C-alpha cells in the first residue's frame, strides 16, 4: 500500500512514519525539512509546503491513501486562519489528485463532554490552542458533508504524550474518553498504531473516532 503522510516530521507524523514503515507500507513523507526522518528503502521524502496546492497534488497522485497530521504550530499568530487554510488546501489537493482515502488527525477539542457540548467550547480548554482546535473542528464539520472521499477524522485522547508502543488501547467515536473522573491519555506511539490500523483495516469510513487508554 502506498500512503502519503503530511506533516511527517511533526509530533504525531514522525511516529506515523515509523509505524507505517514497520508494517511494510510504501511511504511518501511530506515535510518542509528532513529533520530526523530515516533513510529507508520504502520512504520517499518530498520537501515542500502544503500551501503549494499544485505541488501537493503531484505528490498525492497515484497514492492509495493520505494521512494528514498537519499543524502549523500552536505558537503561530493567526492560528485559526493558518490551520483552517492549510486544512482546506490539503483537502483540495487530495480531491484533485483523485485519492479517495483520507485520514485527518484533528484534536480532542471536537469530542463531546456532554450532549451537544464539545471540549473546545468549555471554559477549561486552553485559550492558547483554542483557535487551532476550532479550525480543525470546523474541518470535521465540513467533512460530514463530504461524499467524494472515504474520509476518517481522528481525535486523539485529551492528553497525548510521548511514551511507549503497547498497541493496547480503547476506541471510541464522538465522546471524550475518560479515566475515572479525569480525561484519558494515550501515547503518541500508540496513536500512530491506531492511525495505521485504520488505514489498513478501516472501521470508521466517513466518521470520527478517538483512541485512548
State pLDDT tens for residues 138-178: 999 999 999 999 999 999 999 999 999 999 999 999 999 99
What nine digits make up the cell of 140? 470535521
Which residue from 182, 185, 25, 183 is spatially nearest to 103, judged by alpha carbons?
Answer: 25
pLDDT digits (tens, 9 = 90+) for 15-43: 999 999 999 999 999 999 998 899 999 99
Q: Assign 107 to helix, strand or coil.
A: coil
Beta strands 43-47 and 65-68, pairing class = unpaired
Q: How many CB atoms lie within 10 A of CB 62?
A: 12
What nine digits make up the cell of 120? 473546545
Q: Cα torsion for 13, 14, 20, 26, to the nearest 10°?
A: 90
- What's the CA gap between 37 and 119, in Å, rounded? 33
Which residue from 174, 2, 208, 209 is spatially nearest to 100, judged by alpha carbons?
Answer: 2
The answer to whether 60 and 94 are in contact (CB under 8 A) is yes
* Residue 107 scores a pLDDT above 90: yes
What is the residue whose three cell numbers read 510521548? 162
* pTM > 0.85: yes
- What's the CA gap between 68 and 85, in Å, rounded? 14
Which residue from 182, 92, 93, 68 is spatially nearest to 142, judged by alpha carbons?
Answer: 92
Amino acid at each position: 500500500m502506498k500512503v502519503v503522510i503530511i506533516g511527517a516530521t511533526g509530533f504525531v507524523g514522525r511516529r506515523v512514519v515509523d509505524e507505517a514503515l514497520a508494517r511494510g507500507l510504501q511511504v511518501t513523507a511530506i515535510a518542509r525539512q528532513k529533520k530526523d526522518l530515516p533513510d529507508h528503502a520504502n520512504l520517499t521524502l518530498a520537501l515542500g509546503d502544503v500551501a503549494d496546492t499544485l505541488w501537493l497534488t503531484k505528490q498525492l497522485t497515484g497514492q492509495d491513501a493520505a494521512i494528514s497530521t498537519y499543524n502549523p504550530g500552536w505558537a503561530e499568530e493567526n492560528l485559526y486562519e493558518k490551520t483552517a487554510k492549510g486544512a482546506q488546501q490539503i483537502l483540495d489537493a487530495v480531491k484533485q489528485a483523485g485519492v479517495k482515502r483520507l485520514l485527518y488527525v484533528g484534536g480532542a477539542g471536537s469530542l463531546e463532554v456532554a450532549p451537544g457540548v464539545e471540549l473546545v467550547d468549555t471554559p477549561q480548554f486552553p485559550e492558547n490552542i483554542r483557535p487551532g482546535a476550532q479550525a480543525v473542528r470546523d474541518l470535521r464539520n465540513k467533512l460530514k458533508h463530504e461524499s467524494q472521499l472515504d474520509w476518517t477524522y481522528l481525535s486523539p485522547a485529551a492528553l497525548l504524550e510521548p511514551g511507549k508502543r503497547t498497541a493496547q488501547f480503547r476506541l471510541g467515536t464522538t465522546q471524550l474518553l475518560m479515566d475515572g473522573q479525569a480525561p484519558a491519555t494515550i501515547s503518541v506511539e500508540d496513536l500512530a498504531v491506531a492511525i495505521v490500523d485504520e488505514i489498513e483495516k478501516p472501521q470508521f469510513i466517513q466518521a470520527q473516532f478517538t483512541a485512548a487508554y
